[in-house]
Structure 1
Amino acid sequence: MAELNPVGDLHRDTLAVRTAVPRSAYGENSEALYLTSGYVQPSAEASARRFAGDEEGFTYGRYGNPTVASFEQRLAALEGAPAAISTASGMSAILMMCMGLLKSGDHVLCSQSMFGSTIKLIGTDLAKFGVSSSFVPQTDLAAWQAAVRPATRLLFAETPTNPLTEVCDIRALADIAHNAGALLAVDNCFATPALQRPMAMGADIVMHSGTKYLDGQGRVMAGALCASQDLVTQSFLPVLKSAGMTLAPFNAWVVLKGLETLDIRMQAQSARALALAQWLQVHPAVARVYYPGLSSHPQHMLAMAQQSGCGGAVLSFELKSSEPDQARARAFHVLDTLQTLSLCTNLGDTKTLLAHPASTSHGRLTPAQRDAAGVSQGLIRVAVGLEHITDIQADLDRGLTTI
């Protein structure tokens, strides 16, 4: 865990490469990787103060690490957050958030279009411990308001959503949450702070799967929460210390270096995604394209306002078909004919990755839950990478023209 130290009025591009670069006596220019599970203490008295939280200093690898702290400080700077805390994965960050904020009898209100594992964790796993939940349409503010209860402690939205790229009004949801005495958390994995900063629009917590665009090359897993110093220190850090959702120093170092190129990667990949979405929109085998950068997207104007005028690097498209079995067979055909692009459930890589959400990320949901989320058998998600756009189109066209 690390608190953001003031760095002046620097642009995000500069913060991405200059925030949190501690140097040892050797004067290294690149951020050091500290691989250690423990720390030698200067005295027994200092050790006692540090373990009690009365003095700054590293004590044990599960509680903190200089490399991990550098990643947290840099991510907080990019999100415009007072503080950040990291975890071993995006899902463990969500679990830490829920464990730190909720107790038996509390209620969580979520979008029904969230990532499949998030829906299962909150809707099924937390229910075992007495935490109730409701799931409402992502874009229906009246439904969010109507579902608020006296016991509601947290509203949780993902914008854009995975995989249909639905966009929610962050400011409006923040107002609903705060008027109810609750907090608003936003999953910012798709947009990243390069395109969208939810805390500037009223969100209390920003959640990240660093496995995705923050790393940017599909190398390691990581997660993080950005929030106020009090939330990080009082609510989340105690859970981290007890439960051990600790981010490995090597993974932290990889993602820390990935942040240096986040902005230029997001701009380049988003430009390719827009070109691909426009091409798919007129393809005879495609029924519909979901991408916030298209004027046909239901929340296009909101997305352009919230996401710095950029649609992001992820899109989904629906194949033309008459019934579910045919749709599934056609989707599998398109994916099985790929020769250049990759069939892979991750996203955020420099390589273009395609997935069939109904059988992967949302495969553990019930058919009713998938229907509510709009995830059909004919839906394919594309996380656009840095290949040349003509090669991306050609590889997709091979399958689309032969179904």
Structure 2
Amino acid sequence: MALLFAAAPVGAQPLDFSATVDAHLGYAVNPQLVTGEDAGSGYGGITVSPLLSKATSVSQTTLGGTYSREQYFSNYGHTESESVTFNHNQTFSEYLRGGVNAGYTRSNNLLLNGNEDLVQLGNFATGGTTSILSAGANLSWQATGKDSFTADGNYIHQKTDNFGFSNTFDEYVADVGYMRALNARTKIGVRTNVTFYHSPIQNFGGGPEGGNNRTIGPALAWQQIISPIWNLDADVGIIFQHSGTPFPSDSKGLGFHARLCGTYPRSTICFSGARQSSGSAFGGLRQQLTFSVTYTYRLTELSSFSLNGIYSKNSNGNGNGINNAFADSDVFRGSIDYNRKLTDRLSVGVEGRGGYLKRRSFGSARSLAGSAYLRVKIG
């Protein structure tokens, strides 16, 4: 926690501080999603999420952290997750905006920390520990009344430890895009993704290219205001993937992203789907097919309901048999939550979550958990 407060320089304007503290009591079955495990246990849990933020007329900065721990009454001991995130967004002029971000996560229960990158669940990491370090930057430029450009860059370093296995990978991702407005409701353009991936575990041949993979994904893009309620953002193109494993290979396939969102007076709902490349600690650079839905509904002024579900099918795009056993997987993660506000700072609720993992050579696993919680807001 000291890190969060140390971030405020002497003489600077005061930062806004807030935090939430959740205390849980519930029951879980196979909380770490380990193959062959089906025992259950009651548990007590706590989640602490402090946040520092500062806003000016041209910028917004946040520094936050989350620590979660679940102590099981039998079978599993405890699981925990911690993360720190930093975000800064800046308006340089009426036409130019940008931002930087960084984050760190360490967890031995990827269902606990709410990580929505389902590739991480299939990394042979269940029951073990995964650490993820990331950093990125972005720019958006409104060149004319109709023409806009975007550029994003991200770096990811991940380490996974499990059952005596350990591996790391580094992934560099760049996205650039151009959109032109045809009218007040429609934009079309192009987007291109470039990904470089390196993992020592793939460098069996010892050559300079052994652990290097790369992907280029050009696509046509479309943004549409369908109605005052519904908006669509989509692109479709081709994924060109090269693997530098001991058996170098090239492949290509369909790539796409789509997000359809509706905003109603008391609810919001979003559907999304994508086929893209995604790095993993084991199995190299994968091709990932993902579908998800998020839904929130305000029942009354004091109570709300939310639901999230995401499914991912992962495969080794180059067909390399050495990595297929680790790369091929089907993963599902879902959660449901009901919250009722008692006072401005105090609320109660019930929540449930579940996960499913099926891997080509390691069988399948299921996880379920449910709890009642008390939430306190500070600041």
Which bin holds the TM-score, normalised by the shorter protein? under 0.3
With structure 1 as the length reference, what TM-score do the two structures score? 0.22
Q: Which has the higher contact order (CA 8 A, sep 6+)?
A: 1
Normalised to the residue count of structure 2, the TM-score between the two structures is 0.23
